[in-house]
Amino acid sequence: MQLSQWTGDITTFEGDVLVLGRFEDSQASSAETSVDEALGGALTAATQRLLFKGKPRQTVAVDTLGRLGAGRIVLLGLGKEEQLGVSGLRDFAALAVNAALSGRYKSLGVIAPTSNPNDAMQLALGAELGTYRFNDLQNEPEDAPYASIDALTLIGTDVGESVLEAANAIASSVNLARTLTNEPANVCTPERFEALAREISSAPGFELTVLDRAEIIARGMGGIQGVSRGATREPRFIHMSYTPTSGEPAAEIALVGKGLTFDSGGLSIKPAKGMEDMYIDMAGAAAVFGAMSIVARLQPNVAVHGIVGACENMTGPDAYRPSDVLTMYSGKTVEVLNTDAEGRLVLADCLHHAASLKPDCIIDLATLTGACVVALGPNYAGLFSDNDELAERLLTAAEGAGESLWRMPLDPKLCEALNSKRADITNLGGRYGGAITAAHFLHHFKGEGPWAHMDIAGPVLAAKDDGYIRAGGTGYAVMTLWSFIESNG
């Protein structure tokens, strides 16, 4: 999709579709009025017939039959002006491109509802995120070969090429994370992550370390080793390291992602219903790859580490057992009481490695607990941190990125839920507060510096298409992470 900008007399805009927005209960804009005049009042007639009030998602469409440069006019409701946030702008653009797609049109112009440059960026993001389809594994995808727009023109904005370039880098990275999440476990494997890490790390400023099973064992990464023992597919420990190619980095950040390419539960096996979706248990890693792919393209003046622990949790003959005691990379011992609480074991080794780099902060992302989804519902991720300043900065980043994030307490009283008679700690908390006890477990391995943990089990998967969000993997947290990285620069 070619993205460009245009300012000029709206009636002369040449393209298949011209999209206008109207705020709820407000008058037609001057652009809408001139379009309506050129059409001899046909647009007004249609809005009246359809009781168009500008409510979100309300749509009116008319053909221009050669009376305007554009072939078809689409008028979309924007909702209340004061409620139009980043998500509203993205949804508007997504609805616009999907309206064009469903008519199998190839080019469209969208009139920006505001003149704010960040809003233009959100429109571009919404358009690219809204046209995302996961059909790589279909021989005859339903809407291909039509499911592509050749050209999108933002009308009435004038924001410099670099803003559009940044929007494209961000949107394609969110879509990359969506694809990684959507891919089944026989496609998205630890080896695929390695290949992707090599591709991302070919950008300036990158170094890459990848450890295979033998090296993971040799280094004493007992968490990753234990969890991956039941799987034939080899685990990978991946560390992408980016340092700006010129000047001192303004900060150094470590991102850590849970990359369980499949979680059967292991010997504490999941019931069939609970296992179906467990190909998404690498969405934390997907967020880290998405963020690193933006870093590779936009080269911020912040040093960023992307660390991923990737493996399958399976039930093979050598699988780790409930009751096993693992010696972790940090040296701590863990009594395994449930092999389905595997994410924290993999993350523990990754966190210990991240801590050894002594970054300014560590942020880990994981589809860690069903309990977090029970607590917050499917749309919010839970944020846990021992550092109020870092927590506040992440909440601000999430807000700016249009992603829902809610801080949860690291209740000190729940710490003892992990007490073990046979080892330093167990991997299983008590009956209540499962997302909190999981966070406490991670806390044992995060080292001395500021740390935050995002339990993203809920928002990484969407049940249905909704504006710029598409059913399936959402790419959640990529935009929050980028917005956080930028705030350090």
Minimum distance from residue 188 beta carbon to Zn ion (Å)? 14
- The residue type of 280 is I
User: For Zn ion, which residue of 252, 263, 312, 364 counts as binding (CB under 5 A)?
Assistant: 263
Identify which range of 84-92, 160-168, 170-178, 363-371 contacts ligand BES by CB under 6 A. Answer: 363-371
Return the range that interacts with Zn ion (CB under 5 A); candidates 147-155, 262-270, 404-412, 471-479: 262-270
CB atoms < 10 A from the CB of 41, how many?
11
Q: Is 244 in the site for Zn ion (CB under 5 A)?
A: no
Please state, in angstroms and rounded to a whole number, the distance separating the CA atoms of residues 92 and 113.
9
Residue among 432, 392, 426 at smallest CA distance from 411: 432
281 binds ligand BES (CB under 6 A): yes
What is the closest distance, in whole angstroms, from the C-beta atom of residue 281 to ligand BES in the complex?
4
> Shortest approach of ligand BES to residue 313 CB, angstroms?
7
Task: Decide if residue 342 touches ligand BES (CB under 6 A).
Answer: yes
**340 near Zn ion, rule: CB under 5 A:** yes
Stretch that binds ligand BES, among 125-133, 177-185, 341-349, 406-414 (CB under 6 A): 341-349
CB of 437 to ligand BES, least distance (A): 8
Q: Does 338 bind ligand BES (CB under 6 A)?
A: yes
State the binding partner of 98 from Zn ion, ligand BES, none, CB within 5 to 8 A by kind: none
Q: How far apart are CA 139 and CA 414, in angstroms?
A: 51
DSSP H helical segments within 220-270, as ranges? 222-228
For position 434 contacting ligand BES by CB under 6 A, the verdict is yes
Q: 82: which DSSP letter?
A: G
By a kind-dependent CB cut-off of 5 to 8 A, residue 11 interacts, out of ligand BES, Zn ion, none, with none
Quickly count: other Cβ atoms within 10 Å of residue 192's Cβ: 16
Q: How far is CA 369 from CA 408, 437, 439, 455, in A?
A: 13, 10, 10, 7
Note the residue count of the chain: 489
Within a 13 Å sphere around the CA of 436, how many CA atoms are in the beta-carbon half?
A: 17
Question: How far from 481 is each of 244, 278, 294, 459, 486, CA to CA, in Å?
Answer: 17, 24, 10, 15, 9
How far apart are alpha carbons 269 and 252 in whole angstroms?
A: 39
Residue from 180, 428, 454, 479 in contact with ligand BES (CB under 6 A) = 428
Exactly one of 58, 261, 369, 404 binds ligand BES (CB under 6 A); that residue is 369
The binding site for Zn ion (CB under 5 A) comprises 260, 263, 281, 340, 342-343
